[in-house]
Structure 1
Amino acid sequence: MLKKNRIKSEKNSFFNSIERNFDKAAKFLSIEKGLLEQIKACNAVYRMHFPVKLGKEIKVIEAYRVQHSHHKLPCKGGIRYSIKVNQDEVMTLAALMTYKCAIVDVPFGGAKGGIKIDPQTISTEAIEKITRRYTSELIKKNFIGPGIDVPAPDYGTGEREMSWIFDTFLSIRPEDVDALACVTGKPVSQGGVRGRKEATGLGVFYGIRELCKMKEDMLSVGLDIGLIGKKIIIQGLGNVGYYAASFFHNAGAIIVALAEREGAIYNKKGLNVSKVILHLKNTGSILNFPEAINIENTEKALELECDILIPAALENVINKKNAEKIKAKIIGEAANGPITPEADEILEKKGVIIIPDIYLNAGGVTVSYFEWLKNLSHVRHGRMEKRFSENMNYELLQIIETVCKKTINPVDKKIILRGPREIDLVRSGLEDTMISGFHKIRDLKISSKIKNMRTAAFVLAINKIVDSYEKLGIFP
């Protein structure tokens, strides 16, 4: 009974944490209470039940689409497929999307969707039926469209489901010339953008890397600047955790532990991420990796010695029960809500730097924005400037060779002459967005004498949303 109550308490803290953090930030702002209440509230909640014939049976499917904010349109947010989906969770995640988009200057209001199914236990045919019916329900109520509400992948969904959504939308709205922009996270062959799959993990890498460049911040936790040699633990090897681990490993950081549901693996000298993933594909588990020791209790991996801890899977994994045992000096929230408010306070007293989720995992929505722009412009990123850049680089190179009287070797010349590809532009845009967002939060934290990055991030987001309302003339 006690265990059940503790779980319930932690669960409630996740759902209440957004408002609690919002209220903390509001103390630093001189904004009318009514406007603050409007920003906190969800603008629209669509709860639906629809029948789908699966085999010989008719199943009633429970699903949601929440539009948290209309301060900018379209609304934007993923759709998750999970048996744990409920209205409170979807509303919370929609609110996170609003603040996330505001922080990184992506012009969307926050939204989220969810279907209460377990995609692991039903057939592909059934998932397709449910996805298409869900899309048609959204269309009926005007909850999807390039300028209205643009879904994306989330937990349990991917390119396949986004393709079905686009195809269903197009079949019902064939006259919409911008139909491709009704959903993002599509395959490249259907208007998707290169670099979307690794975007969230890469955004996590850029954000933490930028913090590690700050001498003052690193001194405060007793670390040297830079990523090389930093000991990192990553919890979750899904899309976000895998790419984050790969980018940190390639940058010279030491991945000492990787944790999954079934357990964790540890090697103080570092794990080769590529080899671990190969082992996972061959065996179905990260456990028993030849170059590591097993840790049966995955939660214990979070408490190991490290410089940086990156929870990249579930919410509430760091709570009041284990926060005191966390030894990391920096925590990067790659997942949504991995730290409960109670744990937040404990870690802050310990001097741990927390890079909040509403900034750090904004890489996915940033690149989704690039895909949306690509679909609306009907032109692939880089198509118009690639050849021009190559020609200009060639002329410049000729001048350099003439002046210096030296011929550059063919390998270096090829690198210099190459114009930007779509993935180059996407990653460049993402890097600039994450670096800019980090410094806006950090500068605000310092100038306003705010204790932590999370509160500073909320203050920044609220200010930007208020500014949008004022420009619309809604609240003169």
Structure 2
Amino acid sequence: MSDNSLLDQNTHFFGDVCKNFDYAAKFTKHDAGLLDQIRSCNSVYRFRFPIRRGNGFEVIDAWRVEHSHHQSPTKGGIRYSEFVNEDEVMALAALMTYKCAIVNVPFGGAKGGIRINPKSYSVQELENITRRYTVELIKKNFIGPSIDVPAPDYGTGEREMSWIADTYATMNPGQLDAMGAVTGKPIALHGIQGRREATGRGVAIAIRECVSVAEDMQKLGLPTGISGKRIIVQGLGNVGFYTAKFLQEYGGIIVGICEFEGAIYNADGLDVEAVYQHRKATGSILGYAGAKQEFKNSGEGLEQPCDILVPAALENQITAENADRIQAKIIAEGANGPTTPEAEAIFYAKGGIIIPDMYANAGGVTVSYFEWLKNLSHVAFGRINRRFEENNNLNLVNMVEGITGISLTPAQRATIVKGSSELELVNSGLEDTMIRSYHEIRETYKLEKIDTLRTAAFVGAINKIAVSYQNLGVWP
């Protein structure tokens, strides 16, 4: 099969997003023109540029899509994949718009993509590609702290974001807020504590909130709480690893892990950190000593017995072909678009619950928002008030001990007196965002008598974006 035919197979992602949007729009009362504005991608920039490879040149295909300008700046990651295409970038940009609205982050949605397999290029070549991509965005005014703020996505990370930040700052000498033009940067380049694990932590919190609702768990025949829940995670990258790690810390049992090379399963549980280290050493999760079953076909791993399935890899992993074989009762979408509309209908007909991607994986953009705020304020969270908090707490402890005559142990005193660090404040803000947003979605789901959480999330997002346009004076 040619590369082009592989690409042609995945040209309906944006259409799927629009179908979900159109269905949810029926539960609103907004003008048809306004709904069309919200649905549509405002700006689609496709471009090509050459890079030198060996003694010749290679032409690179790239995109940046700004879906909605109801809030500024727009925000969204940059994906490096040999299968990235315009339809996918448009769909991911649209999802970013709705995602930001759902978790009340004041950004419009955007997304970028470069059609390469990063494993096929040297570090120097990747740097050249990233910097040239950034220059092309600068030339067309598609990047800036008040215009459009990229972030990491599939195939990119802190290294690529540092190249983008440096290129933008070099091309904009004297701009005070230049580091706010991109998020997901290393800490040394004005990044923020907790960003790397933010998406996975957010997915874990979303699942924890879902299983805390007794009414919903009763319908599924499950007890409340994470403790003891059997969980399969697809993907051991940044999102999947941290999701599994935090769910394990919450008391969940990770019974299965799936990767592109295959899947492993143990009904008694897998040690996530040990599996990660095994893959790091051998290049594969297969052969891990703690697994009782192995599957060369990764898709088989999704179909094993569990309570919760977390697809945290790529889109279109649960389809009409395999949905009926999924044994989980809850699907938590760590990836963007892992469940097709046809598969979702089959899964809901079986009585399951899907925690939608637009909400479940919003932890990354939430903490990116915190990083952007940090860059604009030019001060780390906790730096100004941490010592003040500690002194106040110390005075309070001394006063209570003096009045009661009770002396605290050094460990107790240290716990009470301690001021908040940047990481603690970031994690607190993320947790509060995810908890509030889940119950906001569920309230819409119950009050409007909507059939799925995804539709309820869309309805909430549409209503918020519509208000923004009305406040801009675009619509009466």
* 2:193 pairs with 1:207: no
- Distance change in 2, residues 1:9/1:220 (3 Å): farther
Decide which moves more: 51-60 or 437-446. Answer: 51-60
Deviation of 1:8 after TM superposition, in Å, equals: 8.7
Distance in 1 between residues matched to 2:414 and 2:315, nearest whole Å? 46
- Distance change in 2, residues 1:14/1:45 (3 Å): closer
Deviation of 1:413 after TM superposition, in Å, equals: 1.3
Distance in 2 between residues matched to 1:77 and 1:56, nearest whole Å? 35
**Mapping 1:283-298, distance limit 5 Å:** 283-292=282-291, 293-298=293-298
Q: Which amino acid in the other structure matches residue 15 of structure 1?
A: F
- Distance change in 2, residues 1:8/1:24 (3 Å): farther
TM-score, normalised to structure 1, is 0.97
Deviation of 1:86 after TM superposition, in Å, equals: 1.0
Deviation of 1:14 after TM superposition, in Å, equals: 3.0
For 1:94, the equivalent position in structure 2 comes to 93
Deviation of 1:402 after TM superposition, in Å, equals: 2.1
Deviation of 1:175 after TM superposition, in Å, equals: 2.0
**Mapping 1:189-338, distance limit 5 Å:** 189-292=188-291, 293-338=293-338
Q: Which amino acid in the other structure matches residue 70 of structure 1?
A: H
Gaps of 5+ in 2: none
For 1:358, the equivalent position in structure 2 comes to 358
Q: Secondary structure at the match of 1:49?
A: strand
For 1:107, the equivalent position in structure 2 comes to 106
For 2:407, the equivalent position in structure 1 comes to 407
Q: Which amino acid in the other structure matches residue 303 of structure 1?
A: E
Distance in 1 between residues matched to 2:60 and 2:274, nearest whole Å? 40
TM-score, normalised to structure 2, is 0.97
Computed over aligned residues only, the root mean square deviation of the Cα atoms, in angstroms, reads 1.5
- Distance change in 2, residues 1:387/1:332 (3 Å): same
Distance in 2 between residues matched to 1:81 and 1:311, nearest whole Å? 19
Distance in 1 between residues matched to 2:11 and 2:453, nearest whole Å? 23
Distance in 1 between residues matched to 2:265 and 2:236, nearest whole Å? 14
* 2:139 pairs with 1:145: no
Distance in 2 between residues matched to 1:123 and 1:189, nearest whole Å? 24
* 2:156 pairs with 1:157: yes
* Contact 2:10–2:88, Cα closer than 8 Å, also in 1: no
Decide which moves more: 404-413 or 378-387. Answer: 404-413
Deviation of 1:10 after TM superposition, in Å, equals: 7.2
Deviation of 1:331 after TM superposition, in Å, equals: 0.6
* Contact 1:10–1:319, Cα closer than 8 Å, also in 2: no
Distance in 2 between residues matched to 1:290 and 1:51, nearest whole Å? 46
Deviation of 1:451 after TM superposition, in Å, equals: 1.1
- Please identify runs of 4+ aligned residues in structure 1 that moved more than 6 A: 7-10
Gaps of 5+ in 1: none
Q: Deviations over 1:152-189 (max 9, x none)?
A: 01111111111111111111101211001000000000
Deviation of 1:23 after TM superposition, in Å, equals: 0.7
* Contact 1:10–1:340, Cα closer than 8 Å, also in 2: no
Q: Secondary structure at the match of 1:474?
A: coil
Q: Secondary structure at the match of 2:263?
A: strand
What is the percent sequence identity of the aligned residues? Answer: 58
Q: Which amino acid in the other structure matches residue 233 of structure 2?
A: I
**Mapping 1:15-94, distance limit 5 Å:** 15-94=14-93
Residues paired across the two proteins, number? 473
Distance in 2 between residues matched to 1:93 and 1:8, nearest whole Å? 16
Deviation of 1:54 after TM superposition, in Å, equals: 2.2
* Contact 1:386–1:421, Cα closer than 8 Å, also in 2: yes
Q: Which amino acid in the other structure matches residue 382 of structure 2?
A: G
For 1:348, the equivalent position in structure 2 comes to 348
